[in-house]
Amino acid sequence: MIVVADTSPLNYLIRLDHPDLLHTIYGRVLVPQAVLIELKHPESPAEVRAWASAPPAWLETVQVRQVDATLAVDLGAGEREAISLAIEVQADVLLIDERLGLREAEARHIEVAGTLAVLLQASLLGYLNFPEVVKQLRRIGFRVSETMEASMLARHEQAKKAKP
C-alpha cells in the first residue's frame, strides 16, 4: 500500500507520540519535501521539529516532479505537493486534514483519510483507546466539528460491537 501524508496528520501523530502507527498500519509512507519543511518550521512544536529533523527510515521523502497547477491557490505548499505526489505515485490513500485540501483531493478521485480516521483504524487494531486519544487531540489544539467527532465516535462504537 502506498500512502502519502500531508503535514497535519503527521504533526498530530507526532504530538500524540504515535507517528509509528502510520508504518504499522500502512507500511510505505511518502511525504513531499514541502511537508518535511513545514514540520521543521520554527513555529512547529519542538517534538515535531526534532522528529522531522531525523525522520524514521520508513518515511520516504519524495521530490514532486510537477505540482498540479489546477489546485486551489489557497492551499499551502505541503497540501499542494502532497496532492500532486498522491496523483503522481497513484497513492492508495492521501492523509490530509484541511477541508480545502480534502475537497481538492476528492475532486481528483484520490482516496483520503484524516488524522481521526488513522486513529480510529489504529484503535480498531488494538493500538490505542480511540475516545481517549480524541480527548488528547482536542487538548493539543486539533479542531474538528462536534458533528464529525460524534460521527467518528459512533463509528468506533459500532465497529467495537461488530467485532467478535
Hey, what domains does the chain have and what are their CATH numbers? 2-116 (3.40.50.1010)
Residues in CB range of 34: below 8 A, 6 or more apart: 64, 76, 77, 78, 80, 81, 82
Lookup: cell for 101: 485540501
For the segment 103-115, what is each residue's pLDDT rounded down to a tens digit? Answer: 999 999 999 999 9
How far is it, in rounded angstroms, from Cα 26 to Cα 99?
Answer: 23
Residue 91 contacts residue 110 (beta carbons within 8 Å): yes
Mean pLDDT of 88-106: 96
pTM over 0.75: yes
CA atoms within 13 A on the CB side of 51: 22
Would strands 28-32 and 93-95 be described as parallel, antiparallel, or unpaired? unpaired
Which segment of 54-68, 69-83, 119-133, 136-150 scores lowest on mean pLDDT? 136-150
Question: Residue 145's Cα: distance from chain center in Å?
Answer: 17
E strands present in 20-163: 28-32, 59-62, 93-95, 112-113
Yes or no: say if 153 and 134 are a contact pair by the CB < 8 Å rule.
yes
Are the C-beta atoms of residues 86 and 2 closer than 8 Å to each other?
A: no
Burial class, 96, CB count within 10 angstroms (exposed 0-12 / middle 13-18 / buried 19+): buried
- Cα dihedral 102→103→108→112 (10° resolution): 30
- 24: cell is 504499522
Reported as a single tens digit per residue, the pLDDT across 1-59 is 999 999 999 999 999 999 999 999 999 899 999 999 999 999 999 999 999 999 999 99
Please give the residue that has the higher pLDDT: either 162 or 14: 14
